[in-house]
């Protein structure tokens, strides 16, 4: 068990969200599903929380109600090794009503914000040659889904 795990607050669709997220990432699983008992506060037998894992990271999806909704102030960052990975996660997380945003960000159909980022982008942005890094940043700011080839071209000054 991890010392710290994110708890995501849903309005009655925690089980659906956990199933969706574990379908997107191959190294994932539903760990436990908790149901209300006769003690409440919800109807006995209804799902209150689902614990699931993605790539070794534990999450809890809680059916907390409509009081709170997700904002982009917290997002889940997906490190990608290739354009194929960027494309796959981008497509899958948008499935069913997600919304693309900018600079590699999207909001899935449950309202959770994600950043789908190729690892090479961070390497280029950290380059000690600030002109190269600046060109890459300018190129990234024009994108919705991140595309490695134009980022690398900007890095090379092409």
Segments making up each domain of the chain, as ranges: 1-68, 70-158
Q: What is the CATH number of domain 1-68?
A: 3.30.720.100
Instruction: Name residue, tokens 């539903």.
Output: 30
Question: What's CA 94's distance to the chain center, in Å?
Answer: 10
- Token pair, residue 97, equals 């009503």
In this prediction, residue 2 carries a pLDDT of 85
In this prediction, residue 145 carries a pLDDT of 98
Q: Is the pLDDT of residue 53 over 90?
A: yes
In the predicted model, what is the mean pLDDT of residues 78-92?
Answer: 98
In this prediction, residue 1 carries a pLDDT of 73
- Least confident span in 11-20, 36-45, 61-70, 98-107: 36-45
Task: Reply yes or no on domain 70-158 having CATH 3.10.180.10.
Answer: yes
107, exposed or middle or buried, with CB in 10 Å at 0-12, 13-18, 19+? buried
C-alpha 101/C-alpha 18 separation (Å) is 22
Yes or no: say if 72 and 105 are a contact pair by the CB < 8 Å rule.
yes
Q: Look at the pTM and tell me if it is higher than 0.85.
A: yes
């Amino acid at each position: 068990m991890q010392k710290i795990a994110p708890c995501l607050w849903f309005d009655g669709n925690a089980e659906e969200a956990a199933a969706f997220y574990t379908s997107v990432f191959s190294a994932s699983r539903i760990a436990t599903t908790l149901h209300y008992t006769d003690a409440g506060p919800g109807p006995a037998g209804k799902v209150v929380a689902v614990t699931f894992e993605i790539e070794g990271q534990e999450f809890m999806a809680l059916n907390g109600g409509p009081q709170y909704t997700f904002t982009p102030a917290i997002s889940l960052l997906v490190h990608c090794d290739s354009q194929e990975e960027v494309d796959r996660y981008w497509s899958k997380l948008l499935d069913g009503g997600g919304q693309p945003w900018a600079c590699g960000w999207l909001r899935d159909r449950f309202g959770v914000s994600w950043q789908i980022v190729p690892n090479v982008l961070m390497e280029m942005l950290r380059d000690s040659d600030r002109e190269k890094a600046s060109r890459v940043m300018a190129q990234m700011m024009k994108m919705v889904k991140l595309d490695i080839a134009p980022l690398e071209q900007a890095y090379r000054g092409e």
